[in-house]
Structure 1
Amino acid sequence: MKEFFENKRFRIFVLIILDFIVVYLSAMLALILRFDITTIPQEYYDGAVRSLPVYFVITIVVMWIFKLYNRVWTYASLSELVAVIKATLLIGVLFVCYHVLFQINMPRSYYFLICAFMATFFSCSRFAKVAIKNYKESRKSKNIRNYVMLIGAGSAANILLNELKSTAPDTVVVCAIDDNPNKKNKYMQGVPIVGNRNAIESSAKKYGATEIIIAMPSADAKSIREVIELCNKTGLPTKILPAVSSTLTSSLSKEIREVRYEDLLGREPVQVNQKGIHEFLHDKVVLVTGGGGSIGSELCRQIVGNVPKTLIIFDIYENCAYDIQNELKRNYPDVHIETLIGSVRDYDRMEDIFKEYKPNVVYHAAAHKHVPLMEDSPNEAIKNNCLGTLNVAKLADKYEVDNFVLISTDKAVRPTNVMGASKRICEMIVQSFANESQHTKFAAVRFGNVLGSNGSVIPLFLKQIENGGPVTVTHKEITRFFMTIPEAVSLVLQAGLFAKGGEIFVLDMGEPVKIYELAENLIKMKGHTPNGDIKIEIVGLRPGEKLYEELLMDEEGLSKTENQMIFIGQPIDFDEEKFFNELDDLIESAENNVPNIKELVTHVCTTYIITDNK
């Protein structure tokens, strides 16, 4: 029975019957309104009744031409209403033509009245489903759980608003925010646009918002960060619609995600020459030392996407290497991947690898990087970072590797800890080999803290928040540069493409981020109140820790590359013979585990300043 009533032919039949009734009622009401029910002249009444069959035929034909019998009226909109009005006007014109042709006299006002009644009744009969649907939805309003404030009132927000109406029955958008002053006090699909970003906090309270969605996919990163910080002041959970390239084919509501810490960077993500990188790595043998670590594993992911001849994952930690090997073999079954276990300190083990596989490109990511741990075990920093880099650089030169790229750090600039000093020594090793090598192009890449990497501050803060606090910050004024893991790796790959020999590549990472403010934002992102339900505790600078990191020493200067966010720090000249003599002594002392290794480090890395932050 239900299928019968939902049958298309049955629905058309019902609409035709309704149109007959509408035409009859409109004709009678037009006469009644023109004269009065008791004083309608017999001539006009007979003319109207005699014309009804013709009215019916004209109506059906016009309605069919305008496709008003086969539309989905459940979702009728303004375009359907316009079509009904146009059809009614044409019907009225044809009624007049019929009466003139057959000399049927009717009052002029009759034609205006019948058209008005028909337009009203035609619309009512067809928009009844919409009214019923809206009524049912209003009855469901008791079940609404989310009252959303929308940040942005552009095309993306408009599409998103439509999708939320159809896909999220428990959600209603109560207001919108937009910085365009011309949009203030206007409406977007019935949603009031109440002001610019300065009205976020007050409007959230006024309209009872329970959630905020940032729908500004084309906004720059700085604006996004500023808006997120304003949203955080409301204490409401905030989601974001990121920049999407497939807005015409994908569902925007499915693209909405939680605000991530990457959104707090406040700068545009680095863009690289993907075509050039593909040509650089395609069909090459590529070795990644430290391939199981945070940076190394992402390097492997991006390298394997460029279809190298062989990818060699080298790491001392077999569990991490095993995990990335399985991931890559699952996603790229056609790429030849070798996973090898060993230490970069072991020259003979490394030489066996270079001799057997003859790599074309080497990315040297293997290193100890944790500042406080290396302060307690400084000899290990020298053994792993300095000796390891020296071994891999020697073998890259000996076996005529095309490109060697060292992963360095901003902590190598005027270092105040042994980890940073050891990485500065690594940069000097690379620079020296770049000056002497007849074949290999040596370069280093220097960047700041990597968001989400093992041992970095973000996972620590998130874990502390999850455990109910406190979140520990070493100093209220401490700042750091930040970048995402994919950005860091993209920079490393681009460096190999740009390298001519001896460069230190530096990323423009925007303004440094205050760690205390980062902690506050992360706490707010998780729906808590800083120093309310989650305390922030100042614990003091750790040994070797600086308040401010730098990306360049004054002497290095900057020169541009093709990529506007990547720069080259010019190498600083030094006595290479003296350097290697002192480096050999330093490595020998580290291997003998001498107690005063930090003093010896200052002889090799003259910019290193020993500190004691207690």
Structure 2
Amino acid sequence: MLLSKDTVIPENLVSWLSVYSYLIIGSIAVFVKLGLYRAVVRYVSVRAFIVVFTGAFISTLLLAALAYAFKINLPATGIVNYGLTALLIVGGSRFAMREIYHRLVSRKKTPVMIYGAGSAGRQLAQALTNGEEFAPVVFVDDDKTLQSAMLLGIPVIEPSEVERTVKKQGIERILLALPSASRATRKAILESLETLNVKVLTVPGMADMVNGDMTIDQLQDVRIEDLLGRDPVEPDPALMQKHIKGKVVLVTGAGGSIGSELCRQIILQKPKALILYELSEFGLYSIEKELRELISKHKLPEIDIYPIIGTVQRRNRIEAVMTSFHVQTVYHAAAYKHVPLVEFNMVEGVRNNVFGTWHTAEAALKANVELFVLISTDKAVRPTNVMGTTKRLAELVLQGLAERTKAAQGNTRFCMVRFGNVLGSSGSVVPLFKRQIEQGGPVTVTHPDITRYFMTIPEAAQLVIQAGTMGDSGAVFVLDMGEPVKIVDMARKMIHLSGLEVRSNKHPHGDIEITYTGLRPGEKLYEELLIGDNVTDCDHPRICRAHEQALSWQQMDALLEQLNDACQNFRIDDLRELLLNAPTDYQPSDGEINDLIWQHMR
């Protein structure tokens, strides 16, 4: 009040002391009531400023009332000056302390760069500022209206300045805050960051945040699908529901990588019932528990889930299941898919992949199933291993049964869906590379030129379901897997985006070495999806139909009898010869028979 030049000091000091006493007590009471003294200084926010403003305003009104009550001649300028001073001291001191605290604490945090100054980036910056691990020091964004500006006190730079800023600011992490960006965009950004040897983390996808599964500050390693740069096509709801909604569906191999994802996708389409057929007790337990949680989470109507332990090699078991539950749709995902293991266990590979498919398909015919879909593989095309050969034979079994069923005017429609590797499946190189990088290397690659097709498990499962609605019985469908990926390039990208450098002759002081172990038994350098060029497009842009050689059921039946006899009597030489003579174009990459028991019996 003394800042006002119009203020007149009254002779009665008692009145002044009374005004000050009541003003101090009243102001403290107001601030206590507003909760200002409960606010932690380091978390002071805009809301705290509103509280300070409200308290200072009420305190100023209290001063005016006291001056009037005690008949003190206090001019309006004195009252206004008091209010402004109170606002500056009470609020300014708190914001100043907050800034000092954050500057001191930020020195102990890891400096990070946030790539993306949009809503997700700003939310991430605020969360990290209040956290104890990372200190956001700069935003990167290609939006020219934001460049050179300050957001939340943090400068925004353009992408061309990233490398210079990383070195200048000592950036140890780059956080990708682009949850809605396409995979093509994310791939281009990741490729530009790869040479920096700075660890790159990413915020969760928009779907995970909207569903409440993850929060903005739950940072993750860069997902390998972002490196592929291939955006999935949204599934057609009509195709997804056609053979599932309101129907009884059975999935064999329900606990496996593909089988479990098929179950997740099927549940979302609201079947009448879902039968989980699986040999692994733990796998069956895990997927059943997950599906029940999924139903609760999405508030789906009550869906009957039946977990059944069983092997596809016992026809009476699978037939009893299909007949008892009146199954209408079957997705046959049960198979041995690991190339070297099937190479070492030829009889079981044939038993499970060929005869297991046959028994399941015959059971489907007996139960009058409407649709039977076989999950096949790109390794069935010109196979160099036993696994690929058995999957091609499984396709031939269904093609032969389709011919037989048509002649008998049966109702069951058979089809096969062929695709390549899926990211994150059991045996996939991606989790293997991650573990090897975490352990300090080396990262093992079989051959410098080996390439593979890749697809995410959810996209593969959705395309399998949609492909099953197309074509007539006996059709072979092929999924568009995009461009093949060189495995060693994938390994290098994963190392670089982990903030590490590849150790080589050129860089002897690098962090992780890549070593080549040689092709495994039955493995080939390049995978193919088509046996020939006779292919037609389907209703879906990523599904096409292959037209390939097939056997009549009489021919297939005779071959099955010979295969069964060889397996039953463990005549591995004869089994190998039958596989070579079958119309699968089997050309072993190894001249030796690799079955482990056979080798020790000789």
Q: In 2 relative to 1, CA 281–470 (structure 1 residues): closer, same or farther, beyond 3 Å?
A: same
Deviation digits for residues 325-376 of structure 1, max 9, x if unmatched?
3444566585433333332222233322233223111111111111112223
Could you list the per-position Cα deviations for residues 280-333 of structure 1 after superposition, in whole angstroms to 9, with x for gaps in the alignment? 323322221122222222323333344433322222333322333344456658
Match of residue 6 from structure 1: none
Structure 2 equivalent of residue 205 of structure 1:
167
Assess if the C-alpha contact under 8 Å between 2:329 and 2:372 holds in 1.
yes
Distance 2:94 2:484 in 1: 54
Structure-1 separation of matches of 2:218 and 2:340? 40
Tell me the equivalent position of 1:137. 101
Q: Does 1:400 align with 2:368?
A: yes
How many angstroms does 1:521 deviate by?
A: 3.0
1:316 to 262, 279, 283: 279
- Give 1:597 deviation, angstroms: 2.6
Residue of structure 2 in register with 1:161 after alignment: 125
Does residue 265 (structure 1) correspond to residue 221 (structure 2)? The answer is no
Q: How far apart are residue 409 of structure 1 and its match?
A: 0.8
397-406 vs 373-382, which moves further: 373-382
SS in 2 for 1:420: helix
Query: Taking structure 1 as reference, are residues 26 and 164 closer, same or farther at Cα in structure 2, changes over 3 Å only?
Result: farther
| Per-residue CA distance 1:240-269 (angstroms, 9 max, x = gap) | 124315879979634533323333332113
Q: Is the 8 A contact 1:502 1:571 kept in 2?
A: no
Structure-2 residue corresponding to 1:290: 253
CA distance in 1, matches of 2:91, 2:5: 22
Q: 2: distance between equivalents of 1:246 and 1:328?
A: 17
- Say which SS state the counterpart of residue 362 (structure 1) adopts: strand
**TM-fit CA distance, 1:550:** 1.8
**Distance across 2 between alignment mates of 1:383 and 1:247:** 45
Contact 2:399 2:551 in 1 (8 A): no
Equivalent in 388, 406, 412 of residue 440 of structure 1: 412
Distance 1:493 1:306 in 2: 11
CA displacement at 1:149 relative to structure 2: 0.5
Does the C-alpha gap of structure 1 residues 377 and 163 become closer, same or farther in structure 2, counting only changes over 3 Å? closer
Q: What residue number does 2:320 align with?
A: 352
1:448-467 equivalences in 2 (<5 Å): 448-467=420-439
Structure 1 letter corresponding to 2:357: T
* Contact 1:281–1:303 under 8 Å retained in 2: yes
Q: CA deviation at 1:390?
A: 1.5
Match of 1:361?
329
Could you say which residue in structure 2 is the equivalent of 1:538?
Answer: 516
2:349 aligned with 1:371, yes or no?
A: no
Matched residue of 1:192: which SS? Answer: strand
Moved more, 523-532 or 602-611: 523-532
Question: 1: CA distance between counterparts of 2:122 and 2:454?
Answer: 33
May I ask how many residue pairs the two structures share in their alignment? Answer: 530
What are the equivalent positions in structure 2 for 1:411-422 lying under 5 Å apart? Answer: 411-422=379-390
1:169-209: per-residue Cα shift (whole Å, max 9, x none)? Answer: 5532112222345544343333222321x543332121111
Q: Please list every run of 5 or more consecutive structure 2 residues that lacks an aligned counterpart in the other structure.
A: 9-32, 58-76, 297-301, 504-509, 593-602
CA distance in 1, matches of 2:113, 2:123: 15
Give the equivalent residue in structure 2 for 1:476.
448
Cα distance in structure 2, aligned partners of 1:311 and 1:394: 20
Q: Does 1:612 align with 2:584?
A: no
Alignment identity in percent?
Answer: 38
Conserved? CA contact 1:543–1:613, under 8 Å: no
| Alignment partners' CA distance in 2, 1:574 and 1:561 | 24
Counterparts of 2:96 and 2:253, CA distance in 1: 64
Quick one: distance in 2 between partners of 1:598 and 1:383? 14
- Corresponding residue number in structure 1 for 2:136: 173
Q: Identify which of 566, 591, 598 aligns with 2:568.
A: 591
Is the counterpart of residue 75 in structure 1 residue 45 in structure 2? yes
For residues 524 and 172 of structure 1, the distance between their equivalents in structure 2, rounded to whole angstroms, comes to 22
**TM-score normalised to structure 2 length:** 0.76
1:518 and 2:490 aligned? yes
**How far does residue 518 in structure 1 lie from its aligned partner after superposition?**
1.9
Counterpart amino acid of 2:318? M
1:148 matched to 2:116? The reply is no
**Residue 382 of structure 1 contacts residue 422 of structure 1 at CA under 8 Å; is this kept in 2?**
yes
SS at match of 2:174: strand
Distance 1:442 1:406 in 2: 8
Cα RMSD for the two superposed structures: 4.0
Question: For residues 263 and 394 of structure 2, what CA distance do their matches in structure 1 show?
Answer: 22
Asked whether the 8 Å contact 1:424–1:605 carries over to 2, the reply is: no
2:193 to 231, 240, 246: 231
**Which residue does 2:559 correspond to in 1?**
582
TM-score for both structures, normalised by structure 1:
0.75
Say which SS state the counterpart of residue 253 (structure 1) adopts: coil
1:541 partner SS = coil
Q: Which position in structure 1 is the counterpart of 2:305?
A: 337
C-alpha contact 1:287 1:314 (8 A) present in aligned 2: yes
| Aligned-partner residue type, residue 118 of structure 2 | G
Provide closer, same or farther for how the CA distance between residues 215 and 319 of structure 1 changes in structure 2, counting only shifts above 3 A.
Answer: closer
Q: Which amino acid aligns with 1:281?
A: I
Residue 134 and residue 192 in structure 1: after superposition, are their counterparts in 2 closer, same or farther (change >3 A)? same
Question: What amino acid does structure 1 have at the position aligned with 2:282?
Answer: N
> In structure 1, what is the equivalent of residue 92 of structure 2?
128
C-alpha distance in 1 between matches for 2:492 and 2:418: 28
How many angstroms does 1:411 deviate by?
1.0
Say if 1:440 and 1:200 are closer, same or farther in 2 by CA, change over 3 A: farther
CA distance in 2, matches of 1:246, 1:118: 51
Report the alpha carbon displacement of residue 473 of structure 1 after superposing the two structures with TM.
0.7
The 3-state SS of whatever aligns with 2:372 is strand
Q: Deviations over 1:128-149 (max 9, x none)?
A: 1453244432453365312110
The answer to which of 314-323 and 381-390 deviates more is: 314-323
Question: 1:236: Cα distance to partner?
Answer: 2.9
The residue aligned with 1:600 is 578
User: Which residue identity lines up with residue 416 of structure 1 in the other structure?
Assistant: T
Contact kept, 8 Å, 2:396 with 2:551, in 1: the verdict is no
- How far does residue 528 in structure 1 lie from its aligned partner after superposition? 4.0
